[in-house]
Structure 1
Amino acid sequence: MSDRPLHSWPFTPAPQLVADIGGTNTRVALADAGVLRQGSIRKYPNHGRASLAEILQQYLAETATGDCAGVCVAAAGPVRDGVARMTNLDWEITAGDLARVGRTDRVAILNDLQAQGHALASLDPRHLRVLLPGQPAPAGATQLVVGAGTGFNAAPVHHLPGGTHVAPSECGHIHLPRKGEQEAALARHLAELHGIATIEEVLCGRGLVALHRWLSGQELAGDALTAAIAAGEPAARKTGQLYARIMGRSLATLALVHLPYGGIFLIGSVARAMAPHLVALGMGEAFRDMGRFSPMMAEFPVAMVEDDYAALLGCAAHLAGRPH
């Protein structure tokens, strides 16, 4: 008589649990060896929730998932010493919390920008909108992920023999580039308001709104403003042109710091809304306006990431790449 059990079921390994935590919603999914399980992505509102653990526990119950092979989350806020503190939520996320929820000691907490960086190698080319073409790059070339949304930040992505490393950064708070009297006047205005003129105060969502207010005296909400820019409304178009020039100069400065021959990748809600218009509004000319280094700028391609689930993919890729 055979020693095999009477009911033999296919072995299904424990999945990875990944989550992308925004200010308003949290997306959660399951993954296997760095690949998201088809149909597993669900979105939960954060309002009224006491913690991320509450959402993850609900998700695991709804999907009848037991032990996890690992847990990785991307948080829209600073991560330090394995603890994430959300910028727009009264949540603190710790490795211990994740370990208890997933019943695993294989856990990781990433900043959302870092998660996007880990996703770059796995992105489907169909989810990229090329803004400025560049030169072909060798495999493993450094890349740069740039986020323009509620805030502004950028992080270099280094593909090393031991795996991908995405360095943390707070470069949204570096000095605003300026060329000509209009940009110098804007910098003086921002310095009077904030004590320092930084690129975030122009290139994030509130920055775009404030830029339009400064140029036109008009108060428009962000969605209305980007719609007016898309429609070619004259005052809004002037705002869009200045925004595009400063974006181009900021990207050029960051490119020369990090040398991302593997490409510059924009993410974030404001970048997504402005992406169809940035080139026509003058971003490319400003990007290439680097004096004797202008010819070098053609080596750095710029693209917009249009995959809403890239942060989840990055979390899965990060877990898969970690040593056991």
Structure 2
Amino acid sequence: MILCADIGATKTLLGLARMNGAGRIEVVASQRHVAAEVGSFDAMLDGFLRDHASHLTVPLRAACFGVAGPVKDHTVTMTNLSWHLDAAALSQRLGGIPVRLANDFEAAASGIDLLRTDQLLSLQTGQAAARAPQLVIGAGSGLGVAFRVWQASDDGQSGHYGVVTGEGGHFSFTPANDEQDRALMRLRPHVARPVAEHFVSGPGLANFYTFLDTEDSGKQVDKAPHRVATAMDTTGLTGEEVARRAMEDGEPRALHALHHFLLSYGVVAGDYALATLARGGVFLAGGIAQKLGAVMQDGRFLVGFNQKGPYADLMATIPVHVVTAPDLGLLGAAVIGTRI
């Protein structure tokens, strides 16, 4: 049995997984937790194992935790949450089993091969090239990025995708138009360095709502923003609320923010896809893509994705899919766990 987890800034999904008789990994138990509602990671983990003891019909053999933050020396201090995880301490807590800490998007990218075709919503069919690089990117509490690169076996006849991760959400933000230029200028005095995550994430949707031009009697009015939305600030305006105002209330300002969010999400994903020539496909993971999948099909995302000057025709050949499986990171953590 493998203990696995997908640990984000706002939510954590814990699970138990095993290899079934067909040689396929399956999650036999899972539970979602909201970080703000739990005392500590250790308490959450102990509670999960206690509540799901009936599923532990065989001993735990390994654990892998996908964590939203860079891994260094087998430890992670999370970027958008005040949790510190140490693989050695967790191994001791779990009876000495091997424990692997992985970046959350290393885990997500490791789960791509387990997806069924009905767990992918196609935005652009494209022409998938076998063994070509692939991009996994997802806006949520932050912006995660990982690349899948084919690694051939010694005989050259087989192989598998290896995963390259980083902190792609902290790349500098590139405005898509003059209006976004002005939004960036309003944001700049409030942050040390504006990055993609400031606009392409859940909090980023709220930032578009706050920092974009607003209209008053037909005139453009610059309103001084009072707060930059971040994953760690749960008391201000959230991207979820902006999405609700847009989707349910039809509020013009929220619809305007959503428009720019979709455009910028496409720009960022397209830039990464072009940089790596991700002809194997682009996979949009994370909760926002799942919730806005139908809206993302209206073409605004693809406008930003494909508008790459002389490479527009090339970009149109790259498949783009929304991952609708809510447990991609958990599946990927289980995959990594089986390897150790």
Instruction: Give TM class, smaller chain.
Output: 0.7 to 0.9
CA contact (8 A) 1:20 1:26 kept: yes
Instruction: Give distance in 2, aligned partners of 1:176 and 1:86.
Output: 22
Unaligned runs of 5+ in 1: 1-14
Deviation for aligned residue 1:318: 1.9
How big is the shift at 1:85?
2.5
Q: How does 1:98-109 map to 2 (within 5 A)?
A: 98-103=90-95, 105-109=97-101
Q: Kindly indicate whether the alpha-carbon contact (under 8 Å) linking 1:53 and 1:101 is maintained by their aligned counterparts in 2.
A: no
Once the two structures are TM-superposed, the CA of residue 38 in structure 1 deviates from its matched residue by 5.5
Distance in structure 2 (CA, Å) of the matches to 1:17 and 1:50: 14
Contact 1:29 1:42 in 2 (8 A): no
Correspondence list, 1:179-190, <5 A: 179-190=176-187
> Is residue 128–residue 306 contact of structure 1 (8 Å, CA) maintained in 2?
yes
Cα distance in 1 between the residues matched to 2:103 and 2:92: 21
Amino acid at match of 2:29: S
* Whole-angstrom CA distance in 1 between matches of 2:321 and 2:177: 27
- Matched residue SS, 1:299: coil
Q: Which among 111, 115, 127 is matched to residue 107 of structure 2?
A: 115
**1:32 aligned residue:** 19
Distance 2:178 2:40 in 1: 49
Change (3 A) 1:179 1:74: closer
Secondary structure, counterpart of 1:175 in structure 2? coil
Task: Quote the Cα distance in structure 2 between the aligned partners of 1:176 and 1:45.
Answer: 29
Q: Does 1:251 align with 2:251?
A: no
Separation in structure 2 between the aligned mates of residue 130 and residue 30 of structure 1, nearest angstrom: 28
What is the aligned partner in structure 2 of residue 264 from structure 1?
Answer: 282
In structure 1, the partner of 2:138 is: 147
84, 88, 93: which is aligned to 1:96?
Answer: 88
Q: Report if the CA contact (8 A) 1:149-1:204 is conserved.
A: yes
SS in 2 for 1:177: coil
Distance 1:261 1:320, change over 3 A: farther
Residue type of the partner of 1:248? G
Superposition pairs of residues 58-137 of structure 1, within 5 angstroms:
58=50, 61-65=53-57, 67-87=59-79, 90-103=82-95, 105-137=97-129
CA distance, structure 2, for counterparts of residue 197 and residue 308 of structure 1? 29
* Matching residue of 1:160: 151
The AA in structure 2 aligned to 1:40 is A
Aligned AA for 1:271? A
TM-score normalized with structure 1 length: 0.83
CA displacement at 1:295 relative to structure 2 = 0.6
Query: In the alignment, what sits opposite 1:315?
Result: 333
> Would you say 1:207 and 2:204 are equivalent positions?
yes
In the alignment, structure 1 residue 227 sits paired with structure 2 residue 244: yes
* Sequence identity (%): 25
Give the secondary-structure state (helix, strand or coil) at the position aligned to 1:141. coil
Q: Note closer, same or farther for the CA distance 1:287–1:246 as it changes in structure 2 (3 Å cut).
A: same
Amino acid at match of 2:205: L
User: Aligned partners of 2:101 and 2:79: how far apart in 1?
Assistant: 15
- Shift in CA distance, 88/151, structure 1 to aligned 2, threshold 3 Å: closer
Letter in 2 for 1:161: A
Partner SS, residue 60 of structure 2: coil
Give the match for residue 11 of structure 1. none
Unaligned runs of at least 5 residues, structure 2: 154-159, 215-222, 226-235
Q: Distance in 1 between matches of 2:33 and 2:300?
A: 38
Equivalent position of 2:166 in the other structure:
169
Secondary structure, aligned partner of 1:41: strand
Q: State the distance in 2 between where 1:298 and 1:28 align.
A: 38
Moved more, 286-295 or 275-284: 275-284
- Verify the 8 A CA contact 2:77 2:84 in the aligned structure 1: yes
Deviation at 1:269, TM superposition (A): 2.4
RMSD over aligned Cα atoms:
2.7
Q: Displacement of 1:154 after TM fit?
A: 0.9
Question: In structure 2, what is the equivalent of residue 16 of structure 1?
Answer: 2
Paired positions, count: 307
Equivalent residue, structure 2, for 1:8: none
Scaled by the length of structure 2, what TM-score is found? 0.80
Say if 1:223 and 1:92 are closer, same or farther in 2 by CA, change over 3 A.
closer
Contact 1:148 1:268 in 2 (8 A): yes
**Aligned equivalents of 1:196, 1:229: Cα separation in 2:** 29
Residues 104, 221 of structure 1: alpha-carbon distance in 2 compared, 3 angstrom cutoff: closer
